[in-house]
Amino acid sequence: MSTLLEARQQGQTYPVAVGPALPRLAGFTEGRDSVALVTCARVIRTDPGRRLAASLARSAPLAATLILPDGERGKTLAVLERSASRLLRAGLTRRSLVVAVGGGAVTDAGGFLASVFMRGIDWLAVPTTVLAMVDAALGGKTAVNLPEAKNAVGAFHPPVGVLADPAWLATLPPREMRSGLGEVLKYGFLRPELLPRLAAEARAGRAGARTLADCAAVKLEVVERDPREKAERKLLNLGHTFGHGVEAAGGFRRFTHGESVAIGMAYAFRLARRMGRVGDGEVERVEAALTGAGLPVRVSPSVARKALRLTAHDKKRSAAGLLWVLPIRRGGGWAVEWDVVADPAAVRDAAREIGRQG
Ligand SMILES: NC(=O)c1ccc[n+]([C@@H]2O[C@H](COP(=O)([O-])OP(=O)(O)OC[C@H]3O[C@@H](n4cnc5c(N)ncnc54)[C@H](O)[C@@H]3O)[C@@H](O)[C@H]2O)c1
Ligand SMILES: [Zn+2]
């Protein structure tokens, strides 16, 4: 199946195609002065990686191939500087194209490189993980990290297109797959009408074209209405407030991002229950979907305490205290609201629930 979505953002429109990528590649490279492929070793060594590199070499003036260090190690200012020098030496011009092929780390770094090189050139996103297909490659946010903080230096620079090809997912390590399914389920929690289908896919450990397209459509819809995260875009942070605390409490190694967000989403529903916004049924549905996908919904008491302390440092804070993204019962299901103020006692008690074994 191939689905073509349209992203509208900051007066710009770009296609997001979910399905085979190669047939669409030439449409983006035609007429360019040159093309630079930005990727990482693990990705370009896969079958789809080799095919894509060969296709680019055939159909475009491929001026440079940049192999970034894997994952977050590729998202640094030092790598950015080296990469920009490579593009310059390879003769890229303002009419060249950067093709970023990889997980969210590569699309973030490649997109940011394109945003600053010669004050901004076009880039094409070819996401190769579930997380990048449903989240990182969509919405135009690009960034690298500082030693002090993730994504601290970045830009809004939407790509000219996104080619999300499910064929990449065959080689994705199982833990990365599960981690991405955590974000897939997030869209099911934001749109409960999608949940039965998304939960069934996640339970089977799969993310097919229809699932990827459904999730991408939700993100694009939210970003279109609020490109700069002034309001509705905050919904996409469901589970991320406490989740970031969990990720940090585990030293960014013990839990993947998707695992941390899974715990954070279970936390958000439990906090909402403590505040009388939802009942037991909602908490049970959400936790069943997460555990069904092999994701955690509990941590040890000490990790929960540490996560709660670190959550207090969350950047999405107001004078009123921490602001939460929380569900509230609506019709037969629930809706999710942002900028919700929570009672500190409920915040503590919900953390205690998450930090209980079993
Ligand atoms: N810009 C945004 O809006 C946004 C949103 C969410 C996340 N992000 C960023 O995305 C990054 C996380 O992305 P991620 O989860 O994709 O992680 P990642 O990019 O680090 O990739 C995870 C691992 O999978 C490997 N890999 C990627 N594709 C593969 C494939 N098809 N087969 C085998 N191995 C493959 C990578 O080499 C890496 O080792 C973070 O840096 C995060 O900040 C950005
Ligand atoms: Zn996330």
Residue 160 has pLDDT above 90, yes or no: yes
Q: Given this model, what pLDDT does residue 332 score?
A: 86
pLDDT of amino acid 314: 61
Output the pLDDT for position 344: 93
Span from the CA of 176 to the centroid of ligand 1 (angstroms) = 8
Tell me if 154 sits within 8 A of 141, measured CB to CB. yes
Burial class from Cβ neighbours inside 10 Å (0-12, 13-18, 19+) for residue 73 reads middle
For residue 296 and ligand 1, the question of a CB distance below 6 A is answered with no
Q: 282 CB under 6 A from ligand 1?
A: no
Q: Whose CA is nearest to atom 30 of ligand 1?
A: 172
297 DSSP 8-state letter: -
Q: Is the pLDDT of residue 169 over 60?
A: yes
Where are the strands (E) in the chain, listed by range?
Answer: 3-9, 12-18, 35-40, 62-68, 97-102, 122-127, 141-144, 153-156, 161-164, 317-318, 321-330, 333-341
Whether ligand 1 lies within 6 angstroms of the CB of 141 is answered as yes
Ligand 1 contact, 46 CB (< 6 A): yes
User: Which atom in ligand 1 lies closest to the alpha carbon of residue 151?
Assistant: 43
Nearest to 137 by CA among 151, 129, 127: 127
- Asked if pLDDT for residue 192 goes beyond 90, the answer is yes
pLDDT in tens, 278-315: 999 999 999 999 999 999 999 999 999 999 999 977 65
| Domains of the chain as residue ranges with CATH | 3-171 (3.40.50.1970), 177-354 (1.20.1090.10)
Q: What pLDDT is stored for residue 211 in this prediction?
A: 98
Rounded mean pLDDT, 134-152: 95
Give the ligand 1 atom nearest the CA of 180: 15
**Rounded distance from Cα 191 to ligand 1 centre (Å):** 24
Rounded to whole angstroms, the Cα distance separating 62 from 18 reads 24
45 pLDDT higher than 60: yes
CA 221 to ligand 2 center in whole angstroms: 17
Ligand 1 neighbourhood includes 172 CB (under 6 angstroms): yes
φ and ψ of 68, to 5 deg: -80, 155
Ligand 1 atom at minimal distance to the Cα of residue 256: 15
Distances (CA, A) of 336 to 192, 219, 222, 228, 327: 10, 14, 13, 19, 4
Answer whether residue 358 shows pLDDT above 60.
no
Assess whether the C-beta atom of 108 lies below 6 angstroms from ligand 1: yes
| pLDDT above 70: residue 240 | yes
Contact 67, 96 (CB under 8 A): no
Ligand nearest to the CA of 184: 2
